[in-house]
Amino acid sequence: MVQKDNKSWLVMLTQSYILIGLLIFGLIYAASPSGFMLSVDTSFQLMCQLFLGLVIWSFVSWYLTTKRLFDPYVLFLLSSIIFNGGQIILEVFHLNELGFLGNTFSVADALQIVYIVTLSIATMHFGALLCVVLDRQKSQSSKFLEFLNRGAATDPYTRLGLDPSNQPSGLLSSSLTGIRSSSLPPKIAAPFRSSIVPARTALMVGQILLYLSIIPVMVVAIGAIQVARSGGYASLYEQQAVTGAAASVQIIADFMFPGVFLTIAAAQRKPHLRVFAVLCILLYTCAKLTIGTRGAAVMPLLAMLWLWDGVVRPIPRALLAGVSALMLLVVFPLVGATRNEVAGVDVFSIDFITKTLTGVDNPLVASISEMGFSATTIGWTIDLVPKVRPFAAGMTYLVGMLVLIPNVFSAGRHPALTMSGYDIPDFWLVGELDREFAQRGGSFGFSFISEAYLNFGWFGIIVLGLLGFGFAKLVQWALRERDPIKMAIIAIFVSFFLFYPRGSSEMVFRPFVWYSLFPYLWMRWLSKLNAIRIKGLLNALRKGDK
């Protein structure tokens, strides 16, 4: 019979109780906030502590269920926690020097923010755990059915999963024939399955995309560095959106990611190509750090490290911890403190770097505090919706899909936005809060929690549960067979997807289709085309022999 994974189901049950408890707390508080048994200040501090406990439990429960602590879901979970709950964690230890979110909101509003973040992370994690548990149950059932089918065969070699044509003769054959099906082990290891895309095809596609994107990447990087050095980091967000033919340069430049990751996955016998691909990512990371965009710099690097760890060779966890500490304690604070320095200041001098680092009281706290300030978009969205505008009822997700085709044929507003009457969520928010800043092309960013609330209010947590389930399903699709090409496709998507907790859905659909799905379908098409050609050649050879 199929063995039930009691540990995984116990984890799922615990997560269910956590989610139910949070829902009951919210319903009781919403029914009578003034008559609640705890004061608003006490409730706020308690909810911050509960969020910290949920964060710890999320990583522990994922490890108990999957035995993994370094995979795409963990990276996405970490990104979601830092961007939306970084200042919540600091609040527990009283490390918010300027107050929670700079005291922008009242304590009652701050409690709402902390509660919706806690409920959203818990729901998303519930969906991810449910996917893994159900996937494992399905896998065990498939193995059990396969075992039963083998046991029903009369030939012992078939029952053992061996090739009957290679049966030995003599004593070994008779001894195998005497084995009864009841003595077979309850679990039979799944046979090795090669990638559905040949390595040579994947490498060819990767190399084409990589070399195609090198010059556009250099053009985009040099332009961004010039803007940042002349006007500071903030000037990057005051540029008008690139449209028309000029947008094609950025689109082609982003094909560097499928080029790099497919090369790493497929160049098993060509290590020099892997080294070149790694150098491309490192140079890209350095260029992004130079202009001050820490998230865009680190996310492709994390995706590359995960792919290398799973496809090439395991990376020592001590090395990963050391690199993470270096980024959080040195690089991030340094970039955050220097990215608004303009031309005339040598930010690479030893004296300037030393003075900057010593001027930061706690580098780790400074980094988490700045990234966690993104939660202000959640509070602003709750304040504005539905008072200022009605719920979008899924329209922002639809708009995110409609802008799949970039605006390369016309200048100005994307036609999909004009026809739908809706705007990108972060454009809408900055327009409501600071119209002058919006007219200069400025943006405050957004949050995937804000977008869920913008569309469906408090019922938006269901969307986040589906998001957790869907992303975990995608990760399991790649890791179930440890397929290097599938893992490369996931790594490509992760390079963009890790920023989704700080943005909105248009930065999910377009990268997925253009940079993950398109190369994958291209490789599948080439593989089938080669198979048809080989089959035709074999048929021709057989006819020639006759």
Vertex 367: Cα angle to 225 and 290 (nearest 5): 15
Residue owning tokens 């019979």: 1
What's the whole-number mean pLDDT along residues 327-342?
73
What's the whole-number mean pLDDT along residues 522-544?
77
227: pLDDT confidence band, cut at 50, 70 and 90? confident
Looking at residue 494, its pLDDT comes to 96
Select the more confidently predicted residue: 537 or 311: 311
CA pair distance 524, 295, nearest whole angstrom: 32
What's the whole-number mean pLDDT along residues 378-386?
96
| pTM attached to this predicted model | 0.86
What's the whole-number mean pLDDT along residues 358-365?
71
Kindly give, in sequence order, each residue whose CB lies less than 8 Å from that of residue 105, ignoring residues fewer than 6 positions away.
113, 376, 379
* CA 376 to chain centroid: 22
Residue 432 · residue 488 · CB < 8 Å = no
CA pair distance 287, 236, nearest whole angstrom: 14
**pLDDT tens-digit map of 51-80:** 999 999 999 999 999 999 999 999 999 999
Of the listed ranges 29-33, 374-378, 452-456, 519-523, the least confidently predicted one is 29-33
**pLDDT tens-digit map of 465-521:** 999 999 999 999 999 888 999 999 999 999 999 999 999 998 899 899 999 999 999
Select the more confidently predicted residue: 233 or 111: 111
CA pair distance 544, 541, nearest whole angstrom: 5
Strand ranges for 68-186 from DSSP E: none
CB-based contacts of 239-246 (< 8 A; 24+ apart in sequence)? 239/441, 240/441, 241/441, 243/407, 243/408, 243/410, 243/411, 243/412, 243/414, 244/407, 244/408, 244/409, 244/410, 244/411, 245/408
240: pLDDT confidence band, cut at 50, 70 and 90? low
Select the more confidently predicted residue: 196 or 170: 196
Looking at residue 522, its pLDDT comes to 94
Q: Does residue 16 carry a pLDDT above 90? A: yes
Kindly give, in sequence order, each residue whose CB lies less than 8 Å from that of residue 61, ignoring residues fewer than 6 positions away.
11, 14, 15, 125, 129
CA pair distance 312, 22, nearest whole angstrom: 42
Q: Which one, of 472, 508, 469, 511, lies nearest residue 71 by Cα?
A: 472
Segment of 173-177, 250-254, 328-332, 398-402 carrying the highest mean pLDDT: 250-254
Q: What is the CB neighbour count within 10 angstroms for residue 209?
A: 24
Looking at residue 190, its pLDDT comes to 39
Residue 367 phi/psi, 5° resolution? -65, -50
CA pair distance 110, 103, nearest whole angstrom: 9
**pLDDT tens-digit map of 141-189:** 665 555 556 555 555 544 444 444 444 444 444 443 443 333 434 343 3
Q: Does residue 327 carry a pLDDT above 80? A: yes
Looking at residue 333, its pLDDT comes to 78
Mutual orientation of helices 484-497 and 461-479 as an angle, nearest 10°? 150
Mean pLDDT of the chain: 83
Rg of the chain, C-alpha, whole Å: 27
Residue 437 · residue 430 · CB < 8 Å = yes
What's the whole-number mean pLDDT along residues 22-45?
86
Q: Report residue 260 as tokens.
A: 């790099």
Sign (positive/negative) of CA torsion 9, 14, 15, 17? positive
Q: Which one, of 140, 494, 437, 464, lies nearest residue 305 by Cα?
A: 494
* C-alpha dist (Å) from residue 256 to 7, 300, 485: 42, 11, 16
CA pair distance 100, 83, nearest whole angstrom: 14
Looking at residue 183, its pLDDT comes to 40
DSSP state of 37: S
Looking at residue 405, its pLDDT comes to 76
423: pLDDT confidence band, cut at 50, 70 and 90? confident
Looking at residue 468, its pLDDT comes to 97
Q: Does residue 462 carry a pLDDT above 60? A: yes
248: pLDDT confidence band, cut at 50, 70 and 90? confident
